[in-house]
Chain A
Amino acid sequence: MRFGVIIFPGSNCDYDAYMVAKNVIKREVKFLWHQDTSLSDCDCVILPGGFSYGDYLRTGAIARFSSIMKKVMNFARDGGLVVGICNGFQILLEAGLLPGAMLRNTSLRFICKFVHIEVENENTPFTNLCHKGQVLKIPIAHTDGNYFISEEGLNRLKQNQQIVFRYCDQFGGITQEANPNGSLYNIAGICNEKRNVLGMMPHPERASESILGSEDGKHIFQSIVNFFEKGKQI
């Protein structure tokens, strides 16, 4: 299978994601430029973290109109796998591929640290090698990660089991103290109804080798590979 990593002006986790796909997961990977008009037959497209367009206007608001995003939207509609990490998640929200929006962290600070997240739904192409309730140690690095959605929207997310990751303590306890940014319902990652689009604020590409402090992020990349190579069954 082939990963594609999109580079927007201001992306800064593009090489990390590329490196994990290539050297850790050992699969084919290709960079895609924001002005490209083709996804080059990639099976899974990653929108990496960073500060696309300097976070001007709102995070992700300008990148969402890049020419490659038209292709990403068609690709997602046709069931292609799309992963948005951090700024990538923000872009997917602005593009309407995932519901909700990001507010400024309640602390108003840029927060860069390891957090724990609980796998809430293991029945996705991105978490199929995890088990429900599994605690992953993965870092966050953002200023606007305070996930917001209307009450009605939150109920829909719950009903459709679209909540994939929630901030928790190291034992899996979902507490207010374990919520780094004020996110509603401790939400750290969600998928769309069809389960082929994932957005998450934590950075799995920064936690896929033990030398970096955690290998837990690898589960997400390996789940994607597993999904493809086992015939797309969850």
Chain B
Amino acid sequence: MDKENRLARATVYVKLKDGVLDPQGSTIQRALENMGYHGIKDVRSGKVFEIAFQSNEGKKPEELIDEICRKLLTNPVIEKYNFEILK
């Protein structure tokens, strides 16, 4: 495949903001405790997105992925995100 058409890949991690109640995380934490893992003090759940994209849209890959995160992948009221780009 020639270089122009090679897809870039991004991994986006979405987490609930600190201080936002995470019913799923706390249920998992309690389950672990019941299983005998007494050292587990906190579990926060989240989502991971793996995105393949063409990075020749006149936007820097970082800008493009950041925009997607803000517009669709996260709800800024409750979630925060970070991402990695593999070129």
Cβ of A101 < 8 Å from any Cβ of B?
Answer: yes
The size of the chain B interface, using a CB distance under 8 A, is 11
Q: A182 contacts which chain B residues (CB < 8 A)? A: 21, 23
Cβ of B8 < 8 Å from any Cβ of A?
Answer: no
Q: B77 contacts which chain A residues (CB < 8 A)? A: 93, 99-101, 148-150
Cβ of A104 < 8 Å from any Cβ of B?
Answer: yes
Would B75 and A108 count as touching, CB distance under 8 A? no
Q: A61: which of B21, B22, B24, B75 is its contact (CB, 8 Å)?
A: B75
Whole-angstrom distance between the alpha carbons of A65 and B21 in the complex?
27
Q: B75: which of A101, A106, A107 is its contact (CB, 8 Å)?
A: A101
Cβ of B72 < 8 Å from any Cβ of A?
Answer: yes
Cβ of A58 < 8 Å from any Cβ of B?
Answer: yes
Q: A108: which of B20, B27, B72 is its contact (CB, 8 Å)?
A: B27
Cβ of A128 < 8 Å from any Cβ of B?
Answer: no
Q: B72 contacts which chain A residues (CB < 8 A)? A: 57, 61, 65
Q: A61 contacts which chain B residues (CB < 8 A)? A: 72, 75
Cβ of A94 < 8 Å from any Cβ of B?
Answer: yes
Which A residue's beta carbon lies closest to that of B71? A65
Cβ of A146 < 8 Å from any Cβ of B?
Answer: yes
Cβ of B52 < 8 Å from any Cβ of A?
Answer: no
Q: Is the interface of B mostly helix, strand, loop or mixed?
A: loop
Query: What is the size category of the interface that chain A forms with chain B?
Result: 20 to 34
Cβ of A105 < 8 Å from any Cβ of B?
Answer: yes
CB distance from A165 to the nearest CB of B (A): 20
Cβ of A141 < 8 Å from any Cβ of B?
Answer: no
Whole-angstrom distance between the alpha carbons of A104 and B22 in the complex?
8
Would B21 and A94 count as touching, CB distance under 8 A? no
Whole-angstrom distance between the alpha carbons of A99 and B77 in the complex?
9
Q: A101-B78, A108-B27 are in contact. Are A148 and B73 (CB under 8 A)?
A: no
Cβ of A103 < 8 Å from any Cβ of B?
Answer: yes
Which A residue's beta carbon lies closest to that of B49? A57
Whole-angstrom distance between the alpha carbons of A58 and B21 in the complex?
16
Q: B23: which of A57, A94, A103, A149 is its contact (CB, 8 Å)?
A: A103
- CB within 8 Å of A: which of B20-69? 20-24, 27
Q: A94 contacts which chain B residues (CB < 8 A)? A: 75
